[in-house]
Amino acid sequence: MIREYIVMTNDMPSSEAKSGLGVGKIAVVLAIGVAVAAFFYFDLGRFLSLQALKDNRDYLLLFTETHSAAAAALFVLTYIAVTGLSLPGAVILTLAGGFLFGFVWGTVFVNLGATTGATLAFLASRYLLRDWVERKFGKWLGPVQQGFEKNAFSYLLTLRLIPLFPFFVVNLVSGLTRMNVGAYVVATAIGIIPGSFVYAYAGRQLGTINSLTDIASPGVIGAFVLLGLLALVPNLYKKWSGRPA
C-alpha cells in the first residue's frame, strides 16, 4: 500500500503538468479564436483597405501630427495584432506607415510590428502544433527537420525576401520546424526590409495609387526574387564545394 501510494504521488506532478499544458493550449486557442472571430464579425477589415486609407488620410495625418508618439505606438500595436493573428491588411498598414511617418520611420515601425507579430505567430504555432506534428509525421519529417535546422537562416531569409510566399504561411510553417527563435527573429527582421521599404515609400504617393498592383510590378517582384536567390548562395557554395559556408 505504501509503495503504491508513493508511486501515485510521484506520478501526480507529471499528470498535473500535462493537464496544465492542455489547459494552456486550450486558452491560447480560445484567445486567438475569439480575436479572429471579432475581427470578421465586426468587419474590422473594412478599415484595412486602400479606399479606407484614402478616405481617412486627412484625419490620420492630423492625428499623427498632433499625437506623434501615440500614433506610432498604435500603429506598431495594430501591426503586431494583424501579423500575430495572421489577419489580412498588412500591406495596407505598410502603405499607411510610409504615408503617415515617412518612408524611413515608416519602414522602421513596420519592421518592428511585423517582426514582433511574426514571432508571436511562430511561437504560437510551435506551442500548439509542433509536438503533435512531430508525433504524427516524425518518421517522414526527421530528415527535413535536420536539413532545415542546418540552413534555416538562409532558407527563411530567402522566403522573406521573395514576396511570392504568403507572410503568414511562412510564420506558421516555421514554427513547426526546429529553427532557433533568435535566428528566426533576425532573418525575419532583415528579410522584410526591402519589401517594407518599397511599400512604405509608395505610401508617400498614396494619391496616385489606385491598386496594389501599381506597386507590385513585375520588375519589383523580379528584384525581390533575385535578392532571395542571393541569400541561398552560401548554402549552394557549401553544397558544391563541400566546405563550410
Of residues 18 and 209, more confidence is placed in 209
* 211 shares its domain with 105: yes
Residues 97, 181 within the same domain: yes
Does residue 182 share a domain with residue 135?
yes
Q: Is the Cβ–Cβ distance between 206 and 99 less than 8 Å?
A: yes
Q: Is 133 exposed, middle or buried (0-12, 13-18, 19+ CB in 10 A)?
A: middle
Strand, coil or helix: 87: coil
Same domain, 37 and 50: no
Q: From CA 136, how far away is CA 123, in angstroms rounded? A: 20
> Going by C-beta distance under 8 Å and a sequence separation of 6 or more, which residues neighbour residue 168?
83, 86, 121
Mean residue pLDDT across the chain: 81
Least confident interval from 31-40, 100-109, 113-122, 134-143: 134-143
Contact 28, 128 (CB under 8 A): yes
104-124 per-residue burial string, b: 16 or more CB within 10 A, e: under 16: eebbbbbbbbbbbbbbbbbbb
Report how many domains make up the chain.
Answer: 2
Local confidence band at 210 (pLDDT 50, 70, 90 cut-offs):
confident
Q: Decide if pLDDT at 121 tops 90.
A: yes
User: Is pLDDT larger for residue 191 or for residue 208?
Assistant: 191
Output the nine-digit C-alpha cell for 193. 526590409
Check whether residue 36 and residue 49 sit in a common domain.
no
Give per-residue pLDDT as tens, 141-199: 666 666 666 778 888 888 888 766 789 989 998 898 888 999 999 999 999 998 888 88
**Are 142 and 179 contained in the same domain?**
yes
Percent of the chain topping pLDDT 90:
48
Q: Which residue has the higher pLDDT, 230 or 15?
A: 230
User: Could you tell me if 21 and 69 lie in one domain?
Assistant: no
- Same domain, yes or no: 79 and 165: yes
Residue 215 has pLDDT above 70, yes or no: no
SS3 state at 43:
coil
Residues 33 and 106 both lie in one domain: no
Q: Are residues 212 and 126 in the same domain?
A: yes
Same domain for 67 and 8?
Answer: no
The tens digit of pLDDT for each residue in 61-117 reads: 999 999 999 999 999 999 999 999 999 999 999 999 999 999 899 999 999 999 999
Question: For residues 153 and 94, is the Cβ–Cβ distance under 8 A?
Answer: no
Domain that holds residue 225: 45-241
Shared domain for 37 and 72, answered yes or no, is no
Burial of 154 (0-12, 13-18, 19+ CB in 10 A): buried
